[in-house]
């Protein structure tokens, strides 16, 4: 399982750094982060931010536990080494944001390594923007 996770993480890192998803300099930071994970058990979760403690730098995320098939809530700690996708910093995260968090367990706590915030504006289909239907005629 750990091998699969590291392989997927390496693939995602390779894809993002080679397609310009990260701003200048973040790709190098992510590469150094990936090389530091050789012994760490990295896991991920996808969910909705239900509250934020800016002073403690913690997110409270409601997520679906796929192993137990039930909802859970996790407290995710953030530190200076945490990287961000689609946002610049921890301060840009809002309640009701949908996030993907790559984390490790550190001293019994979830410690975020990468936090990605879904940008729904970019994901809208171009078909929804069109106000008139396209009509095609064939002979």
Does any domain span residue 57? yes
How many degrees, rounded to 5, is the angle at CA 43 between CA 73 and CA 63? 25
Number of domains in the chain: 1
Does any domain span residue 93? yes
Does any domain span residue 138? no
How far is residue 84's CA from residue 93's CA, in Å, rounded to a whole number?
A: 10
The whole-number pLDDT of residue 15 equals: 56
- pTM of this prediction? 0.60
Tokens (6 digits) for 46? 């996808």
The whole-number pLDDT of residue 24 equals: 47
CATH code: domain of residue 48? 2.40.50.320
DSSP string for 52-108: EETTTTEEEEEEEETTTTEEEEEEEE--TT-EEESSSSGGG--TT-EEEEEEEEETT
10-residue averages of pLDDT along the chain (139 residues)? 55 57 50 54 94 96 90 95 96 96 92 92 52 55
The whole-number pLDDT of residue 26 equals: 52
Does any domain span residue 54? yes
Residue 115, H or E segment: strand 109-117
Does any domain span residue 87? yes
How far is residue 19's CA from residue 128's CA, in Å, rounded to a whole number?
A: 26
Q: Which residues pair with 101 in a beta bridge?
A: 45, 115
State the residue range of the domain holding 14.
2-119
């Amino acid at each position: 399982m750990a091998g699969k996770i590291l392989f997927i993480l390496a693939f995602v890192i390779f894809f993002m750094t080679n397609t310009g998803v990260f701003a200048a300099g973040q790709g190098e930071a992510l590469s150094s982060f990936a090389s530091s994970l050789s012994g760490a058990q990295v896991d991920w979760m996808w969910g909705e931010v239900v509250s934020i403690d800016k002073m403690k730098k913690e997110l409270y995320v409601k997520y679906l536990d796929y192993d137990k098939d039930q909802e859970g809530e996790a407290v995710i700690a953030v530190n200076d080494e945490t990287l961000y996708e689609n946002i610049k910093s921890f301060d840009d995260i809002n309640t009701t944001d949908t996030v993907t968090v790559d984390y490790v367990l550190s001293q019994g706590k979830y410690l975020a390594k990468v936090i990605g915030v879904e940008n729904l504006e970019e994901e809208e289909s171009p078909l929804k923007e069109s106000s008139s239907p396209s009509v095609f005629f064939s002979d």
